Amino acid sequence: MNVDLAHLKDIRKSFNGVEVLHGVDLTLAPGEVLALLGENGAGKSTLVKILAGDIPPTSGSITIADTELARLDVYQARQLGVRMIFQELNDAPSLSVAENIFLGQWPGSKGFVAWGDMREKAREILKRLEVDIDVDAQAGSLRVGERQILEIARALTQNAKILVLDEPTAALSNAEVERLFIVMDQLKKQGVGMIYITHRLDEVSRVADRVQVLRDGNSVLTVDAKGAQREVLVTAMLGHEALKNARPAPVSTSGNGLEIKNFSSGDDFNDVSMTINAGEVVCLFGKIGSGSSEVLESIYGLRPVTGGSVHIFGKEFKPKSPQESSSSGIGYLPADRQRLGSFASRSVAENLAVASWKAMSRLGFVDAGNEVKAFSRWSDALKISARRGPTQEIATLSGGNQQKVLLGRWFEAKVQVLLLVEPTRGVDVGARRDIYDIIRRQAKESGMAVLVATSDYEEVVLLADRALVMSRGKIVSEFTGNSVDANSLISAAS
């Protein structure tokens, strides 16, 4: 008798005659966490969508709870206990915690909701997960990590036996990540099997039992997670040995590019001062909630400034709106590139050119030919992989290629200051290196001042000329040269 919760055997999948999965096997045991790794485009999403019934395999077999099937639909997958927990929140923020946990299945009869019964059952589910969240609180008032736990709680009300978690920690603070892992530990004890997709390799040994690596639609490595070496995993993902985490070569800079003094925004941050030279990349490192991303949002005019001053290459600038900031030579990329940074249904050429439309327009009309020329100028320089060229929708690209297009947007606009929030969130290992090289090269060649807000210490080590550390809304440390290392950053931010 098969003891596995799920067994996918010789799974193949083709789109428009092009095979993207080449006979992949995957097994998941009760109470096991399988970390599924691979670069963007490796086939991870396609494989788990087949398991969840979203798309059918071209060939192969799927066995869940001793039921063998040639394919699944979403309804069958749910009946068999398969649930997907996506990186993007899928809740109703204006409803209560209890209402969200039982979303779509509120208990009651004859058209009346049993509110008391629902709250009590919600408390039982949260107790099972060993978390203390007020069931009457509005979901939108919770932290991101708590809202993700609600998604897991909802899955458990639907008798989930297999959870697929797609980069669940991408937007979480360190404390929220550990809390999620504790919840996962509880689920393991209860026999729930989990497939855990992540780009954060440092999480693997903490949370997973086994690791499986996909590359170019093939399963290339399956090993025990506790003994898995980072270098081995990265080599399997890339197909070659990765470069060592060396500090970038120092650059010579001249003159102040961006200067802020005694900068404040309510309770988010207070009395922040810094200078970024022309051609310099400075990383503002801090845990989520430290105030680092809020500083950049305020410079760009996305949140109110309650004190202090901003100077752009010696000229005073008062942030009022994103439009005014863009007109003053400031570019900005948010952490959520898909929802807030790009126009998902528009082409890569349009997305790259949008900040330059005014310069490209004539009599109020934008010349599409100019958009294509702009994309052509940057596609090779930024190594943008768009198989259908400038007309391809940006939403169909990998995360790394989307980010390259959005960086090209501001390079084409010739901004003087570039503000980046979590620039490689959700981007695979290989594309990260490309993006770091692109940012540093463009800063050096154009004299642009770059300020990066990030909670990824490895990103700081690989990208920054200087690092400033924020904690509780204040800058607490500064590091330069070889003093920028993981231990120093983490210690200063704690």
Percent share of the chain, pLDDT over 90:
52
The rounded distance, in Å, linking the Cα atoms of 70 and 433 is 40
- Res 1 pLDDT > 50: no
Model pLDDT for residues 386-417, shown as the tens digit of each residue: 888 999 999 888 888 899 999 999 999 999 99
Mean pLDDT (the chain, rounded):
89
pLDDT band at 311; cut points 50, 70, 90:
very high
pLDDT value, residue 241: 66
Is pLDDT larger for residue 158 or for residue 420? 420
Model pLDDT for residues 345-358, shown as the tens digit of each residue: 899 999 999 999 98
Q: Which fold has domain 6-238?
A: Rossmann fold (3.40.50)
Sequence spans of domains, the chain = 6-238, 256-493
Q: Do domains 6-238 and 256-493 have the same CATH topology?
A: yes
Model pLDDT for residues 323-336, shown as the tens digit of each residue: 999 999 999 999 88
The rounded distance, in Å, linking the Cα atoms of 85 and 33 is 14
Model pLDDT for residues 8-34, shown as the tens digit of each residue: 999 999 988 889 999 999 999 999 999
Residue with structure tokens 């530990």? 185
Alpha helices in 253-385 (DSSP H): 292-299, 322-327, 348-353, 357-360, 368-379
Second-level CATH architecture of 256-493: 3-Layer(aba) Sandwich (3.40)
- Res 253 pLDDT > 60: yes
- Res 238 pLDDT > 80: no
- Res 231 pLDDT > 90: no
The rounded distance, in Å, linking the Cα atoms of 352 and 376 is 10
pTM for this entry: 0.67
Q: Among 129-143, 239-253, 280-294, name the one with the lowest average pLDDT.
A: 239-253
Is pLDDT larger for residue 194 or for residue 248? 194
Q: How far is CA 196 from CA 2, 33, 91, 208, 362, in A?
A: 22, 7, 20, 8, 50
- Res 242 pLDDT > 90: no
DSSP 405: H
Kindly state the tokens that stand for 424. 């490689």
Model pLDDT for residues 48-97, shown as the tens digit of each residue: 999 999 999 999 999 998 888 888 888 899 889 998 887 667 788 899 99
Comparing CA positions, the residue from 69, 51, 63 lying closest to residue 13 is 51
Q: What is the DSSP pairing of strand 67-69 with strand 59-64?
A: antiparallel
pLDDT band at 366; cut points 50, 70, 90:
confident
pLDDT band at 173; cut points 50, 70, 90:
low
Q: Report how many helices (DSSP H) and strands (DSSP E) the chain contains, helices first.
A: 17, 24
Angle at 109 between CA 147 and CA 115, to 5 degrees: 40
pLDDT value, residue 248: 83
The rounded distance, in Å, linking the Cα atoms of 276 and 288 is 22
Phi–psi pair at 84, nearest 5 degrees: -105, 135
